Amino acid sequence: MSQQVLKKVLRDKKQRMTAQRELILKIFMESKGRLMSLDDVYMNIRKRKNHKTSKMTVKRGIDLLEELGIIRKVNFEDGTPRYELIEEIENEPKVLFICENCGKAVKLDLDKDKIKSILPYENIEIKDFDLKIYGMCSECK
């Protein structure tokens, strides 16, 4: 997803491309698949010079990107939704590591063949999977 694609989608929906929306998309693009909460995006914006965007503006920007199908909300048991950039492969299975202390969630690169190799069954066909692994991240350990 590039800024040009976002501009086109916004134009088609009669919305403007603002600096804040562009920055929010850029943060998701730079996240490299990491799931981010509203607070994560907001703090990332606050760290950058000359950006004094309110948390409500960030929330509205995230809501718009979700509505446009550019990012996706992932709900967790801790009640804090996190968001991820929707990549080109829409139906890829997901494996998430979730830190029980800080709530950070990271996508792991495990495909069907890797999952199949650790299962104690032979000659099975995996159609889809969704796996959440809970533990402590290296920062919280």
**pLDDT tens per residue, range 39-70:** 999 999 988 867 778 899 999 999 988 888 88
Give one DSSP letter per residue of 63-126, joined into a string: HHHHHTTSEEEE--TTS--EEEE--S-TT--EEEEEETTT--EEE----HHHHHHHSS-SS---
Topology of domain 3-85, per CATH? Arc Repressor Mutant, subunit A (1.10.10)
Tokens 């009669």 correspond to: 14
* Residue 104 CB contacts under 8 Å (≥ 6 apart), including other chains: 34, 98, 137, 139
How much is the pLDDT for 37?
92
Query: What pLDDT band is residue 89 in, cutting at 50, 70 and 90?
Result: very low
Whether 36 contacts 82, CB under 8 Å:
yes
How far apart (Å, rounded) are the C-alpha atoms in residues 55 and 105? 21
**pLDDT tens per residue, range 102-118:** 777 777 777 777 777 77
